[in-house]
Amino acid sequence: MTTDAPEKEVRVGEAGEAGVAGTPAPQRSRRLRTRTHRRPVRRFMIVTHRWTSLLLGLVLLLITTSGALLLYRPELAHVLNAAAYSPSGGPATVSFSRAFETVREAHPDFAPTGVVAESGILKVHNADYEDFWTVDPSTGAILGHVEKTPTAIAWLDNLHECFLSCEGMPGFVSALNAEVPGTGWLGFDGSAVTYGSLVLGILGLLLLYLSLTGLWLWFPRPRRWRSSMTVRWKRGRFARDTDLHKVAGMVAIPLLLVWAITGAGFELEPVQKAWYALTPGSPVPERPDPVSVESKQPDIGIDAAVAAAQRVSPGDPVVSVDLPAADDPTGVYYIWLSAGFDPYGRMEYPGDRGVVVERHTAAATVVYGSSGESTAQVIWDSFNFPVHTGYIVNGWWRLIWLAFALSPLLLAITGLSTWLIRHRTSRNRKRAASRPAPDPVRSD
């Protein structure tokens, strides 16, 4: 569209004649007016997309690339602790209580607080979930000890999930763990967010904006779909990198949007509210977990707590048991079950239905994953983290997540390359325009 579009519109309107290619004058006028109106919006999107990527893209790239490196963290733990994750393979006959007692008797200095059924073994953990002994669910023998997460992986965890604001993890920066004044409206349940959470939330929203503007700017017309998804490898660096940037962005856009929405939603409550405002169904309000009443009656024990949980969720296997603290008379058993398809089933802590069991009366209450939740709530509460991390699928399918997680790196390289070419071309043009014109050649 040329800059004389308004003049064409007036001239055609006054003449009242047919426009170019037989288009009636009023229709031609509306089309010109619409395109002229859209140019500033498109220009604004191009400029903000480009400069936002250049100014904040490095930090965003650190977060996305660290996430790519963490995609195979469970498999890495199995490799580093091969003996602890090598069960005999027989039928599972060992109860949670037997595994718990076996580890406690074998290691008196170890204070177990729960048992998790994960990756074909029973994993007994301590109170801070950082020390584990594994038990063969078929024989009841102790398989081994799970070593702590390597420092490099723990540092990546702190960067990706907390932006170095998780205390006690490698790379912790205390200033990033401080609360940001006046951000109670951003945090969950009215709590202010930390600087680390605020950075991660903003980066999630930034990725969302870059994804949506990229989709708006480069989404091809139906007639040009094939050519728009083709890379011109032999047309020079600018054409190649422009096409790579566009194709990579279009292919990765679904997961980029998922990561943007879920990443921001983990940190900022308004994102969660926006989700429920835009999707059908209302969330079931959270209720305070029940507590045990102080009583002289004995503790019911693990087996009775498991049986009580299965009564309120029949047919669903128990995958995790957390015991009440011995010195807390109001403590309860927290039981996790896999209700149907468990999106957390491939993770370190499976289970999508939580049941609290009173330690003296065996009264059981479903506190998470109740059957009355709307589809929107199930998606948000049960699927956002497993889909975000890729742990909802096995390692082979997770290669798709890995490829898309590395796409921001390709987008950054190709975007920077095309910007540098544009910048150099513009600079050369300005230099050429500023040079004095050569003297005309005089002929005698």
pLDDT in tens, the chain (444 residues): 333 433 333 333 333 333 344 444 444 444 444 444 457 777 777 777 767 776 667 787 888 888 898 999 989 999 999 999 999 988 999 999 999 999 999 999 999 999 999 989 999 999 888 899 999 999 999 999 998 888 999 999 999 999 999 998 999 999 999 999 999 999 998 899 999 999 999 989 988 988 888 777 776 666 666 777 788 888 888 888 888 877 877 788 888 899 999 999 999 999 999 999 999 878 887 777 888 887 778 889 999 999 999 999 999 999 999 999 888 888 999 999 999 899 999 988 999 999 999 999 999 999 998 888 889 999 999 999 999 999 999 989 999 999 888 888 888 888 788 878 887 887 878 777 777 766 666 555
Contact 337, 316 (CB under 8 A): yes
Cα–Cα nearest to 121, from 103, 149, 94? 94
Neighbouring C-beta atoms of residue 62, cutoff 10 Å: 15
- Cβ burial of 286 (10 Å; 0-12, 13-18, 19+) is exposed
pTM (global) more than 0.85? no
Query: Which pLDDT does position 20 carry in this prediction?
Result: 40
* Degrees, nearest 5: CA angle 75-81-83: 120
Query: Which pLDDT does position 297 carry in this prediction?
Result: 84
To which residue do tokens 């994960």 refer?
Answer: 118
Name residues whose C-beta falls within 8 Å of residue 204's C-beta, 6 or more positions apart in sequence. 259, 260, 261, 262, 263, 264, 265, 266, 267, 268, 271
DSSP state of 383: I
Query: Which pLDDT does position 438 carry in this prediction?
Result: 67
Query: Which pLDDT does position 439 carry in this prediction?
Result: 63
